[in-house]
Amino acid sequence: MEGNKVIITQRKSEEKAQFYKELKEILEGMSRPFFSYNAGFERSIFEMELGMSVKKEDFVDIMEPWKAKADDHDLKWPKLDELMSEPEDYFKEHKISGKDVPEIWKKYLSNPDDKLLRLIMEHCLSDILREAILLIRYQN
């Protein structure tokens, strides 16, 4: 998400080299800092998977204030879903979660159907929008 624009870039091939090259170009052209829920994980992806050199200060961890608050209350660190629910949570309907993504990707590789990729992309969009709400509404 940059400004008022959200772009989800989805890999369609098992081969990741070309996708990573394109993704790296996109990310290198984006303004800093990057906002992320669990910035340490995202930073490691930039470095290990994309071969990018990034500094710790290139990231703002949206989760950090929630980790601190949880620590103050002797609670476990909250997952995004625990802070920001979705309608499926209320109605107890199935929704695609991060843990579902690897299995959906495997299904797509064995039976290329763009509807499967759409499920992954919609999950990513939901995460981005909920993270933006946490950042904008609850920023301390």
Q: What is the Cα gyration radius of the chain?
A: 16
Rounded CA separation 68/22 (Å): 36
Q: Residue ranges of the domains in the chain?
A: 17-138
Q: What pLDDT is stored for residue 140 in this prediction?
A: 60
Q: What is the pTM of this model?
A: 0.89
Rounded CA separation 43/59 (Å): 8
Cross-strand pairs, 12: none
From first to last of the 140 residues of the chain, give the pLDDT tens digit: 888 889 899 999 999 999 999 999 999 999 999 999 999 999 999 999 999 999 999 999 999 999 999 999 999 999 999 999 999 999 999 999 999 999 999 999 999 999 999 999 999 999 999 999 999 998 76
